[in-house]
Copies of this chain bind each other. A is one copy, B any other.
Amino acid sequence: MLLPDWLKNYKKDQLGGDLIAGIIVAVVLVPQSMAYGLLAGLPPEVALYSSVLPLLLYALFGSSRALAVGPVGLMSLMTGATLVELEISNINDMVSTAHTLALLVGLILITMRFAKLGAVTNFLSHPVISGFVSASAIIIALSQLKHMLGVDIPRGLPVHDTLYYLTTQFSQSDLITSMLAVISLLLLWCFKVPVVTLLERNNLPLGLVQFVSKSGPLAAVAISTFSVSYWQLNELQQVSIIGNIPAGLPSLIVPNLDPTLIKQLLPNALLIALIGYLESVSIAKSMANQKRQKINSDKELLGLGAANIASAVSGGYPVAGGFGRSMVNFSSGANTPLASVITAGLVGLTLLSLTPLFFFLPKAALGAIIVMAVIPLIDLHTLKHAWDYDKTDAAAMMVTFFTVLIVDVETGIVAGMVLSIGLYLHRSSQPHIAIVGRVDNTEHYRNIDRHQVRTDEHILALRVDENLYFANTNYLEDTIMQLVADNKKINHVVLICSSISVIDSSALKSLDDILYGLEKAGLTLSLAEIKGPVMDKLRHTAFLQKVGLDNVFLSTHQAIQHLQKLS
């Protein structure tokens, strides 16, 4: 049977938690979805369609028990940017392109699953992701100001152009719209901070507190919708509203498979897939770790891939696991993916019968919901930490941040990735090499610059704190040969290999050159503390035969003792 493990072994006592979590997440998801649809420039029903079938498919194939899949901020931003890049303005074309994009994202994720390429995301470092997320959050927040002020600004502009438009059009902003936005912001803030503090003081259960803190959007939607409909603000005051959402469940469609379109979408689809996977898997892991459960990367790729394909064929756009919703799900007591199945059912019910309720929903309120959701993503904390801890990481973060803001999301991620790999390689090409000496009368040998140690003037004992590979062999060779050339008293060189787990062919060649140079100059080379796996590979090499097994020692102390007897 194809049934997932959680369903086969379902226990009655898991139902309560799943039911409550499913309902709570649905309450959070409906307004959030519509807001993210607005962010992507797509009609609200597209976002709602993305919140039904994808959840069921993830529940079947995914491995996380609490991940809440659906429309998320970053992917909505990237989808919107892709549509602007392709210069699609007709709304029907935009929607159909979004379906195709979701299909591509799904297929890429499944390909990554079978080509074992999930590890590609490892090369996105934390500072690069943080820089990318912070810059995206700023872009997202700025993009919503037009809805909140009631002014008209073209989509998809770089940040400086958007800011320029905002300053020139600020004077034309609509007072009622702006007031609705401010009221929504205040409501959202109240639910996040003072209300939560109040509930926490009264020691209410964590799930309830989380639910209330996340139901701000629902309150903002309800109050602003009521205001518009009561005072007819949409007709009398030109407040922009959501309008008619077609009632009924999504119908199955075949996405547009035009090869030219697919070729244009592919690079962006690749990045959207990577970012979606990365976001989902990191949320899923964080929750699983807390319950000592396992996350299977392969299943995650499959689950998310299936969810995106389901979104594509049911009229949706790219989806992923959302951070906020997943946390609500987790802390409301979701035990299994049945919670998500319940959520999907409730969103389906909303589509069937509740869409008329959202007719008067003002876009300003949705804009406010998005702004409040993304502000915490602006991550100055990580920048400060990176700056204090490691300047190269801070540099990679800032380059990513500013490139995303000034150029675009894709260029920013790629620039950050290339820079962080380059900086890492640069660092490992100049490894830490310590000259060591003996600590008192112990058998311990430590860095002469950090400890009070004794050395023998005829023996140079070096510890290399890095694997030896092509990028750092020259540095090693130069360092040894310079030390030997500078101090003519040295007769013996001891290389301490305790930190070396890999010696590649280039390094082996270089060690051979070092040995040749030392021997020609009348010096000996000894090796100490070679690790097991390294020794396994070295054993059959000409290099080790030339060094001689007599000159390979288990410990640094043995090597030094032996050499002192010789000199």
Instruction: Please report the C-alpha to C-alpha distance between residue A420 and residue B466 in the assembled complex, in whole angstroms.
Output: 18
**Interface membership of A411, Cβ < 8 A:** no
- Which residues of A447-488 are within 8 A (CB) of B? 447, 450, 465-467, 469-475, 477-478, 481-482, 484-485, 488
How many angstroms between the C-alpha atoms of A529 and B471 in the bound complex?
27
Question: Which of B125, B389, B502, B520 contacts A470, CB < 8 Å?
Answer: B125
A431 part of interface (Cβ distance < 8 Å): yes
Which residues of B sit under 8 angstroms from A286, Cβ to Cβ? 513, 516-517
CB pair A506 B291 closer than 8 Å: no
Tell whether, in the assembled complex, residue A521 and residue B388 are in contact, meaning their CB atoms are under 8 Å apart: no
**A535-562, CB under 8 A of B: which get 1 and which 0?**
0010011000000000000000000000
- Report which of B122, B297, B472 forms a contact with A429, defined as CB distance below 8 A: B122
B292–A470 touching, CB < 8 Å: no
Does A498 belong to the interface (CB within 8 Å)?
Answer: yes
- Per-residue contact bits, chain A 395-437, to B (CB 8 Å; 1 contact, 0 not): 0000000000000000000000000110011111111100000
A320 contacts partner chain B, Cβ-Cβ < 8 Å? no
Copies per assembly: 2
Q: Do A292 and B484 have beta carbons less than 8 Å apart?
A: yes
Is the C-beta of A192 less than 8 angstroms from some C-beta in chain B?
A: no
A292-B484, A470-B126 are contacts. A429–B119 as well, Cβ < 8 Å? Answer: yes
- B contact residues around A429 at 8 Å (CB): 119, 122-123
**Inter-chain contact B516/A432, CB cutoff 8 Å:** no
Q: How many Å from the CB of A281 to the closest CB on chain B?
A: 9
Interface members, chain A 252-311 (any B CB < 8 Å)? 285-286, 288-294, 297
Per DSSP, chain A at the interface is helix
A142 at the interface (CB under 8 A from B): no
Number of A residues, CB within 8 Å of B? 80
- Contact status B505-A393, CB under 8 Å: yes
Q: A430–B501 Cα gap in the complex (Å)? A: 12
The verdict on A126 contacting B289 (CB below 8 Å), with A119-B429, A294-B485, A532-B447 known, is no
Q: Is the CB of A390 within 8 A of B504?
A: yes
Complex Cα gap A365–B119 (Å) = 55
A508 interface contact, C-beta 8 A: yes
A323 → B minimal CB distance (Å): 14
Contact A470 B124 (CB under 8 A): yes
Find chain B residues with CB under 8 A from A471 CB: 122-123, 125, 424
Contact of B126 with A506 in the complex, beta carbons under 8 Å = yes
User: Taking the complex as formed, is A531 at the interface, i.e. its CB lies under 8 A from any CB of chain B?
Assistant: yes
A467-B428 in contact (CB<8A):
yes
Question: Are B475 and A537 in touch, CB under 8 angstroms?
Answer: no
Residue in B125, B289, B472, B532 whose CB lies within 8 Å of A513: B289
A502 engages B427 (CB within 8 Å): yes
Contact code string A357-388 (vs B, CB < 8 Å = 1, else 0): 00000000000000000000000001001101
Q: Separation in Å of the A400 CB from the closest CB of chain B?
A: 13
Are B466 and A501 in contact, CB atoms less than 8 angstroms apart?
yes
Check A285–B508 contact: CB distance below 8 A.
Answer: no
Closest CB of chain B to A458's CB: distance in Å?
Answer: 15
Is A154 engaged at the interface, CB distance under 8 Å to the other chain?
Answer: no
Q: Does A509 contact B (CB under 8 A)?
A: yes
Contact, CB under 8 Å: A516 / B289: yes
Contact yes or no, A390 B505, CB < 8 A: yes
Enumerate chain B residues within 8 angstroms of A564, measured Cβ to Cβ.
none
- Tell me if A537 and B389 are in contact (CB < 8 A): yes
Cβ A470 vs Cβ B123 within 8 A: yes
Tell me if B122 and A470 are in contact (CB < 8 A): yes
User: Would B541 and A294 count as touching, CB distance under 8 A?
Assistant: no
The 3 lowest CB-CB distance pairs between A and B, nearest first, are A289-B517, A125-B470, A126-B506
Given contacts A289-B513, A291-B521, A498-B499, 5 further A-B pairs with CB under 8 A are A127-B505, A294-B482, A389-B508, A390-B537, A498-B498
